[in-house]
Structure 1
Amino acid sequence: MKEDYEYPLMPEWSKDEIIAMVQFYAQVEDAYTTGVARDKFMKMVRKFKTIEPSIAAQKQLDRKFKELSGYSIYQAIKTVSNSSKERVKVEK
């Protein structure tokens, strides 16, 4: 993980959407570092997809976040959604 980076945010997001996205990015980081509760994570994924419904924009955010942090949103979603465990950790 890289230190001291900023989360990619979109200027058109509302204050509440920005807060939700910051929480989502933190959950993605947690998925790699400590593990996450599957149900909570998947709720945040649904919120992410509501805030940013464009698949192209989702991919753009994933690329930028991975470039900045070293963590992939897509990989975290794939790993957590395919798991049947209550708590899931993404292995790099």
Structure 2
Amino acid sequence: MEYSYPLDLSWTPDEMVAVVDFLAAIEKSYESKIDTDELKQKYDRFKQVCPGKAEENNIYKDFKKVSGYDGYPVIKKMKEQLTAGKSQAISMEKL
């Protein structure tokens, strides 16, 4: 990893940690796999810091620019699995 996470300097240190943990979970879904429940927990904490959809989308866009990883499809897949009652690992790796 040779890039910086998109952070807002007005966030508290705990809020920055929550956002970085969430973005690291997005990375993990692309590089290997992540448990749906673990991702949901990190996403819920992220949403406490960034409750608005526009802010969430801006962070996804900024993160994709620097990393190449898009958070939107990961969260969409997580929500689909949870709605279907599945709790399996999410992997966005290309086969």
TM-based fold match above 0.5: yes
Q: TM-score normalized by structure 2? A: 0.86
Q: What value does the CA root-mean-square deviation take over the aligned residues?
A: 1.3
Q: Which runs of 5+ in 1 are unaligned?
A: none
In 2, are the aligned partners of 1:80 and 1:90 still within 8 Å (CA)?
no
In 2, are the aligned partners of 1:21 and 1:48 still within 8 Å (CA)?
yes
The 3 A distance-change label for structure 1 pair 34 and 91 is: closer
User: In structure 1, how many angstroms separate the alpha carbons of the residues matched to 2:44 and 2:13?
Assistant: 18
**What does the per-residue CA deviation read over 1:18-54, in whole Å, with 9 as the maximum and x for residues that have no partner?**
1111111110000111110100101111111110112
Which of residues 36, 47, 50 is equivalent to 1:49?
47
Runs of 4+ with deviation above 6 angstroms: none
Letter in 1 for 2:90: V
Q: How many residues align?
A: 90
Q: Which runs of 5+ in 2 are unaligned?
A: none
- The aligned residue for residue 65 of structure 1 is 63
- The aligned residue for residue 90 of structure 1 is 92
In 2, are the aligned partners of 1:36 and 1:88 still within 8 Å (CA)?
yes
- The aligned residue for residue 7 of structure 1 is 5
Letter in 2 for 1:86: Q
Q: TM-score normalized by structure 1? A: 0.89
